[in-house]
Amino acid sequence: MSKLTKPLLAAMLAFSAAAHASPILSGFSQTLVPAVDDGSTKVGLTNNMKLGLNGSVYSGLFINTNGNVSFGSGMGTFSPEAFNSNSYGRSFLAPFFGDVDIRNGGGTIGYGSTKFAGHNAFAVTWSDVGYFPQMNDKKNTFQLVLVDRSDTGANNFDFYYNYGSIQWDKSSSSDKTRAGFHMQGTAADFEFAGSGAAKQMLDSGKNALIKGSNVALDGRYAFNVRGGVAAFAEQVSDPASVPLPGTLALLGIGAIALAYGRRRKA
């Protein structure tokens, strides 16, 4: 199946005075997934939420340990290929697709219902998660928030990637991490600038995820899905963020295809 390989989406990076509030949503009850390596947990969406995505409608999803949620089936992949690859076989949303390991006190992955800007929402939070094999000297905190926008049309939704801190991007079994989404079929895929490149998306990196935004709150990125088509939201009005002064620079980014060998865990 074909994939669009040209940059079709854009990132808004803020270089003005940054808000210091964390973009991570909190204050809602969460259910924790099992602390296993390369795990996958099937969950149903609450409040009758339905997600229309590239010709299919979903009332549930799979929370995969390794920094993503997938639709239709779970995914244990720990060393991700470029998102425009034909090998995945399912659509997924990946705020930070890497070799996460939450065993031995290596953080938690929780999910639950919440509200966002007055709409029903469902959030998955990877909190202080470590990396394989059972390492937690460096920790990542990030979140996916799905927001019901059926007020704009049947099965429409928004989703947000929120980043608290990204301190690691490789494990003993994988030296690549990626962030963005993959749409199975003919829809375009998306990866952030720096996705697949060593150290670039870290807090100290050239394309640090915690330093960008398109909703005027550093570390938060908004996407709209309308009629099943996902797009990077532009000029989003986000009541949960604090508006900042200054100009946002528009930088074109697209899927990054980097070839590398795949290694298995011992």
| Residue range 113-162, pLDDT digits in tens | 999 999 999 999 999 999 999 999 999 999 999 999 999 999 999 999 99
Give domain status of residue 1, yes or no.
Answer: no
Give the side-chain half-sphere CA count within 13 A for 210. Answer: 17
Spacing of C-alpha 175 from chain mean position:
19
Q: Does 266 map to a domain?
A: no
Q: Is 258 part of any domain?
A: no
Does 147 reside within a domain? yes
Single-letter residue type at 138:
K
> How many structural domains is the chain composed of?
1
How confident is the prediction along the chain (266 residues), in pLDDT tens digits per residue? 333 333 333 334 333 334 568 999 999 999 999 999 999 999 999 999 999 998 999 999 999 999 999 999 999 999 999 999 878 999 999 999 999 999 999 999 999 999 999 999 999 999 999 999 999 999 999 999 999 999 999 999 999 999 999 999 999 999 889 999 999 887 779 999 999 999 999 999 999 999 999 999 999 999 999 999 998 886 444 444 433 222 222 222 222 222 222 222 33
Burial-class residue 56 by CB neighbours within 10 Å (0-12, 13-18, 19+).
middle
Residue at 265 is within a domain: no
Give a yes or no: residue 3 inside a domain.
no
Q: Which domain holds residue 193?
A: 9-253
Residue 63 in any domain: the answer is yes
Residue 36 lies in a domain: yes
β strands within the chain, DSSP E: 9-14, 31-32, 40-44, 51-53, 56-58, 60-64, 68-70, 92-97, 100-101, 108-116, 119-131, 135-148, 157-166, 178-182, 190-191, 220-226, 229-232, 248-253
Q: What is the pTM of this model?
A: 0.84
